[in-house]
A = this chain, B = another copy of it.
Amino acid sequence: MKFGGTSVADLERIHNVARHVKREHDAGHEVAVVVSAMAGKTNELVSWVNQMPTVTGSNAPFFDAREYDSIVASGEQVTSGLLAIALQSMGIDARSWLGWQIPLQTNNAHGAARIEDIDGGEIIERMGAGQVAVVAGFQGIAPDNRIATLGRGGSDTSAVALAAGIKADRCDIYTDVDGVYTTDPRVAPSAQRLDRVSFEEMLEMASLGAKVLQVRSVELAMVHGVRLFVRSSFDDPDATDSAAGANPPGTLICDEDEIVEQQIVTGIAYAKDEAQISLRRVADKPGVAAAVFSPLAEAHVNVDMIVQNVSEDGSVTDMTFTVPDGDLGKAKKVLEAAQGDIGYEVVQSDPGMVKVSVIGIGMRSHAGVASTAFQALADKGVNIRAITTSEIKISILIDSDYAELAVRTLHSAYGLDKEAA
């Protein structure tokens, strides 16, 4: 069971989390719980770190990631202890575990460390004896014997890694929504909660803006075959009796083999605040893509969609890609500086784009999925700027004015709308 920052925001909510845990414990399950810091706490600690150089009057930003980790990891240390006490006061044997106590070993990349190994032995033993393990998320111990954090949102990753390390049957992610939807319900009120989603689809959805789960945690779950169940921590903790086999509302993220009736399209995702950049009349020769994207990567500009068409005569081509709106200025400077190396003629750019994506494992074996999208958008007069596709996804770049219309249109076109009650 994993609970995020809003689920442990204050003592009352921590107590509510304890009731969720008690329900599962009372149903006869062996339970480990991973907790985030109280909502806002991590931001406060990070802001203290960031304010330090300002206080000293230095201009250059200063940052020792090892100290940052030690400071910031204290937030989860507090909530894990408080939840253990809350459980104990309900008569449940429980203890907190810090990253270095498990140990959850990471590499040396302080501030955004990767998990190298997790020793679940002692926790498995104690869970077998009826003790609930309350694990501080987001943290581990690096080879230098110092605390390492896994980067923002790392508690999801902690939970999945722990679930793999203790060979858990399932990893329940309690969050502030009650599952994964066919699209954003704020945009399309007809969106429905999905009962099951494959790891591959969830990866595309998570990275495309349906921010229920961290992408890294889904990747890890897929690699280790950890079944994830996304559900709401704001449910009545006592309402669902898992001993009785009742299914609480939520979405199971699992291997596609477990999904019996696979829909062709599972959901519609979108990513706002994209900017489009087009290089016109780029020399169509080996190494030109590297000449474009290497300097952008060095400048930490995150390039998303990339479209390059086959040139007519094999000499020059056009290249289009997207970057976050906020990086557009930086990207243009980098490209202008590299104009000689790349050899393009003109750079054009347009901020305020949105990328809408149609996602579904079923489209691998079904023809005509893309044309349905193009026709539906054309019928509404939505102009398509660029298209990219993968095996299970079609992404379409459009003007952001049409974002909501496009999402709703595609949602209907693939039959995802909830039936009227």
Contacts and interface: CB of A to CB of B under 8 A. Distances in A.
Given A78-B74, A81-B71, A66 B95 contact: yes
B62 A88 contact: yes
Contact of A77 (B15, B71, B89, B96): B71
- Interface size range of chain A in the complex: 35 or more
B49 A82 contact: yes
A226 B276 CA distance: 68
Contact of A48 (B11, B51, B56, B70): B11
A46 to B, nearest CB: 12
Q: Binding site of A, secondary structure by majority: helix, strand, loop or mixed?
A: helix
A31 interface: no
A84 B73 CA distance: 16
Interface in A17-60: 18, 45, 48-49, 51-53, 55-56, 58
A80 interface: yes
A90 B11 contact: no
Contact of A56 (B84, B89, B95): B89
B77 A70 contact: yes
A98 interface: yes
Residue in A18, A63, A68, A70 whose Cβ sees the most chain B Cβ within 10 Å: A70
A146 interface: yes
A70 B80 contact: yes
Each complex incorporates copies of this chain amounting to 2
A34 B240 CA distance: 50
Interface string A121-165: 000000000000000000000000111000000000000000000
A101 interface: yes
B74 A77 contact: yes
Contact of A90 (B14, B18, B56, B74): B56
A58 to B, nearest CB: 5
Contacts of A234: none
A256 to B, nearest CB: 41
B78 A45 contact: yes
A131 to B, nearest CB: 12
Contacts of A147: 98
Contacts of A301: none
Nearest to A56: B89
A100 interface: yes
Given A11-B51, A53-B89, A90-B56, A67 B45 contact: no
Given A15-B55, A67-B88, 12 more contacts: A18-B56, A45-B78, A52-B85, A52-B86, A56-B89, A56-B90, A63-B85, A67-B82, A71-B78, A74-B74, A74-B78, A77-B77
20 contacts: A11-B52, A11-B55, A14-B52, A15-B55, A48-B82, A49-B82, A52-B82, A52-B89, A56-B89, A56-B90, A58-B89, A64-B85, A67-B82, A67-B95, A68-B81, A71-B81, A71-B82, A77-B77, A98-B147, A101-B146
